[in-house]
A and B are shown apart, each in its own frame.
Chain A
Amino acid sequence: MTGTGHIVAPRPFPAMARPELADTQLRANLRRATHTIRDKRLRVVSEVDDWEELRVAGAAIKDDVLARLPQLLAQFEAAATAAGATVHWAREATEACAIVTDLVRETGSHEVVKVKSIATQEIALNEALAEAGIDAVETDLAELIVQLADDTPSHILVPAIHYNRSQIRDIFARKMAGVDLSELTDDPPALAEAARRHLRAKFLSARVGISGANFAIAETGTLVVVESEGNGRMCLTLPETLISVVGIEKLLPTFADLRVFLQLLPRSSTGERMNPYTSMWTGVTPGDGPQRVHIVLLDNGRTDTLADRVGRQALRCIRCSACLNVCPVYERVGGHAYGSVYPGPIGAILSPQLTGQDAGANRSLPYASTLCGACFDACPVRINIPEVLVHLRQSGPHPPGERAAMRAASWVMRDRRRYAAALRAARRGTAPLRFATRKRGSIVRHLPWPLSAWTSSRNAPLPPRQTFREWWALR
């Protein structure tokens, strides 16, 4: 079944990118942040001698999971159920939201605390809970910033990457109830302290916690959350009820497989050797932690993606966001231009695959890349993102004018004589321009549409008087 939720590009990427490109503050914030994480990642990855072997192992384990997905999911369900958890199955976003909303309603609670979770952003859970009169409080610092600002995340790992600290100070001053303005500076410790006080009250009163999961272990029914702040640990341990929304591709066959992924993930995402908090839980432990544990297994377009021989490698993704941080396109436009909670290179292949190429302006996403390959090099599970981008570009319909031009070009180039004649024609056709530009050394500053897109930021040269093959024939 095709996925739904916050993973559809509402308008074509070039149009979405335009206002972001014009925002010089945003460009500066993104440049600084992506380069900082990029450099950190490079340092900690280069110190691991067997990094390439780890990447190959990570890809192989995930490919094995995808090949045996039905069997492993049944195994996970059985193990988690035996440990006291209740497992639910959701075909798409609306169904997942309804399951979670009903579970919260049953507790009688009107407030939930949330661990940073992109799966719940994907299904627009906060909006669904709000409609049911339930207040969802994001407890990850960056998610809290985005939530207070009535904004949406622009990065998988660093949702508030588009803000700098003085902008964050302003958001806190305007939106954080009861904040002490006299102590609130844009100093990071002061901002963290304000958030800590704000959240502490929520942790202590909340009876329901909602999370995602980084990994789900089929063998044991264990869920794993990897985080930096410890706020996730609070949400996972303090409430009476814990509901986790988990994409079906998050499975790992055995507990031992974590040894590969707990090396790959922190180094690729935050550029740390090890993340500060790794929480694992297996169903219910009597007298310790949540006594009602629910797991919502989410498809939302994943089985559709799995059916595509080339595209299924996108399901290996462990949401580290290394591809975003190295992407030259993401660095210029930020996450909002992709119109999905999955931005950057992985979003450009994941969003159209999960929700279908025909949804919204999804078809523009695979073209939001120069195919420079930096994402593939950085990916800890070796997703060949450029390969999938090109693969997705194959499925039409293409713009009629472009299609006609491409067909014509292919027809011309299938025959040497047609090709040679076309080269001569191109030269003759541009001869008047040569005459007009003779004082500027055969440089053109303005070309008619559609080539005006080229001369919008660069000059164009004119063909010289002799093609290579003409020169060769005369030598």
Chain B
Amino acid sequence: MRIALFITCVNDLMFPDTGRAVVRLLERLGHTVEFPDEQTCCGQMHANTGYRDEALPLVRRFAETFAAYEAVVAPSGSCVAMVRESYPSLWPQAADVASRTYELSELLVDVLGVTDVGAEFPHRVTYHPTCHGLRLLRLGDRPLRLLRAVKGLDLVELPGAEECCGFGGTFAVKNPGVSGAMLADKCAAILGTDAEYVAAVDNSCLVHIGGGLSRHGAPVRAIHYAKILASGEGVR
């Protein structure tokens, strides 16, 4: 299948290793990944902060860039939620490409029909279901099914998993006190699991959670689940 990767601007700059993991994973599964060079940002930050006019050119740009592809995949629950849930009302012509845009676990489980991606990751991992993955995309247990199939992975349940970590995009800087209080509770729940890694479908939540854990010198590391799924035999 001809799959276009939408890397997202945050991953492009800050977490290219997540993008490399998605490419490795999909190619290992026998698919061709393309990277349309014209892509930039989905406009989520603009739209959610109240800058609809500034978001619109980015919406149109996304729709034009990805129009020709059978499937678009992005390693970010919130960017995919922006495209699928908000694009149709922002710019109706984007509805078609929006309906073919998938978060990684949707592409793997629903479109490609795989849950065991042949990965190996011998570590204790807990999973934080990000709000937009959970309540906008309704990813359900798709990411967990993928993680459970990973060889050697010890998946531990996160107490209060469905509670927001406190990131919320510009909320983190507009309401730093409340965001920090929510983060502290999330970090305490993660530490209580004795996991080595906390995994999620979104690096923006993970940079917040990971930054909180690192501030307190906690031994737990935040990791995008694509990197876990791409790990194992024959992987650089």
Binding site for B on A (CB under 8 A): 13-14, 17-18, 21, 27, 328-329, 332-333, 366-374, 376-377, 390, 393-396, 398, 402-403, 406-407, 409-410, 413-416, 419, 423, 426-427, 443, 445, 450-451, 453-454, 456-461, 463-464, 466-472
Contacts and interface: CB of A to CB of B under 8 A. Distances in A.
Contacts of B100: none
B7 A471 contact: no
Contacts of B66: none
B110 to A, nearest CB: 21
19 contacts: A14-B178, A21-B181, A328-B182, A329-B182, A367-B174, A371-B132, A374-B164, A394-B51, A409-B45, A409-B46, A410-B43, A414-B61, A419-B41, A423-B12, A453-B172, A457-B212, A461-B14, A461-B207, A463-B14
B13 A457 contact: no
Interface of B is mostly: helix
A407 B131 CA distance: 27
A459 B61 CA distance: 33
Contact of B12 (A13, A376, A445, A469): A469
Given A17-B177, A398-B50, A410-B54, A471 B182 contact: no
B153 interface: no
Given A393-B48, A398-B51, A469-B12, A457 B179 contact: yes
B: interface residue count bin: 35 or more
Interface of A is mostly: helix
Given A368-B175, A369-B171, A394-B52, A464 B17 contact: yes
Among A374, A406, A463, find the residue whose CB has the most chain B CB atoms closer than 10 A.
Answer: A406
A17 B12 contact: no
A132 to B, nearest CB: 40
Contacts of B189: none
Nearest to B183: A457
Interface string B22-56: 00000000000001011111010111111110110
B131 A413 contact: no
Contacts of A406: 45-46, 49, 51, 54
Given A367-B174, A457-B183, A472-B35, A377 B50 contact: no
Given A410-B55, A410-B57, A329 B178 contact: yes
A371 B46 contact: no
A350 B116 CA distance: 47
